[in-house]
Amino acid sequence: MAWISPTGFIDSGSVWTDEALAYDENTGTYAYASALKGDYTDNLELTHAALDCDKVQIWVSIGGANINAIEVDAYYSSAWHNTYSGAIVEGQFVEYAIGSTQSVTAMRVRFYSTKAVTAGCMVHEADFNEVAAGAQTYYQSLEATAVGVSLASKMSTFHKNLSAIAVALPVMNKGMFLTLDGTAIGVAVLSTAKMFSKALDAVALGIASLAKVATYQQIISATAIVVSALTKATTHYLTIAATSIGVPQLLKGMGKTLSAIAIGAPVLNTTLTASRTLGVVAQGVAGLTKQFIAGTGALIKGWWSK
């Protein structure tokens, strides 16, 4: 590891003076900014070609108590990263760690003033801490070795597995063929047994079917006899039932007819008599009316004559 001075600067706000003195390897000279406002100054950027860096160091001083804070950043991975913000330590190198080894191309520094003052802030010296390439390579080699050992172990295990498979395959194949032979014999025996069993089943089924056919025919014959007898009995019963119902109904109807005739004759005689009586009355009323009209006419005629 070695401290490496910057090789250039950027003063974007044009507020710094003698910027190159901040990396001239002389802590008795400095770059400075004065006429400060009550805020942070603009940054003084110090640059270098990319280098592996894990920290920076800066020597600063200030011209008044109102300047009370400093902020330091490092540029890597295409962005600025803050490494420190806080109180100022004057008159010595102060290291600010980045936190890891990065490919750094710049650092920047600025100061904070609590109010506007004419006093200045000075950067006497600044450096990058370059991590030695040899050390980096050594660490990389160790990492590669660790990876390689792991891979070698895995490859060894893999080879052992392959060897075990190579030994096991012939044994497995032999066992497989023996199993297949045994299975083939067993299947043939089982097939023959199944066929014999099916034949026995068919015989048993045939015998059962023949018995069922004979029983069925007997049932049909018995049913035919019963149906025939039942039909005859039913016809005979229906005839008797119809006769026993019909005779009383016929007699009942005849009785109603005779009753109607017996009742109708007197009514008819009474009706005829009443009709005749009404006819006589009607004739009498007509005669009286004619007599009344004739009498009335004679009376009127006699009155006009007088």
Range with the largest mean pLDDT of 70-79, 139-148, 270-279 = 70-79
pLDDT: which is higher, 206 or 5? 5
Pull the structure tokens for residue 23: 């990396």
**Element holding 235 (H helix, E strand):** helix 133-305
pLDDT: which is higher, 214 or 141? 214
pLDDT at 196 over 70: no
Pull the structure tokens for residue 161: 């597995």
How large is the average pLDDT for residues 123-150?
A: 70
How large is the average pLDDT for residues 187-198?
A: 61
pLDDT at 45 over 70: yes
pLDDT at 54 over 80: yes
pLDDT: which is higher, 95 or 268? 95
CB neighbourhood size of 60 (10 A): 24
How large is the average pLDDT for residues 155-169?
A: 62
pLDDT at 265 over 70: no
How large is the average pLDDT for residues 153-177?
A: 61
Residue ranges of domains in the chain: 2-131
pLDDT of residue 79: 98
How large is the average pLDDT for residues 46-61?
A: 98
How large is the average pLDDT for residues 152-173?
A: 61
pLDDT of residue 223: 54
pLDDT of residue 41: 92
pLDDT: which is higher, 94 or 36? 94
Q: What percent of the chain has pLDDT over 90?
A: 38
pLDDT: which is higher, 22 or 298? 22
Whole-number Å distance between alpha carbons of 237 and 231: 10
Residues with Cβ within 8 Å of 115's Cβ and at least 6 positions away in sequence, in order, are 38, 66
First to last CA, the chain: 185
pLDDT of residue 167: 65
Radius of gyration of the chain (CA): 71
pLDDT: which is higher, 286 or 52? 52
CATH architecture type of domain 2-131: Sandwich (2.60)
pLDDT: which is higher, 183 or 226? 183
pLDDT of residue 169: 53
Task: Quick: pLDDT tens for 214-260.
Answer: 666 675 676 566 456 555 755 555 544 555 565 456 447 545 644 55
Pull the structure tokens for residue 192: 């023959």
Whole-number Å distance between alpha carbons of 178 and 111: 90
How large is the average pLDDT for residues 152-157?
A: 62
Q: Please, what is the average pLDDT of the chain?
A: 74
Instruction: Quote the pTM value.
Output: 0.46
How large is the average pLDDT for residues 5-25?
A: 96
Contact 69, 112 (CB under 8 A): yes
Beta bridge partners of 57: 95, 127
pLDDT of residue 257: 45
Range with the largest mean pLDDT of 103-117, 130-144, 245-259 = 103-117
Pull the structure tokens for residue 117: 């003052």
pLDDT: which is higher, 183 or 128? 128
Phi, psi dihedral angles at 29 (to 5 degrees): -110, 170
Confidence of residue 270 (pLDDT cuts 50, 70, 90): low
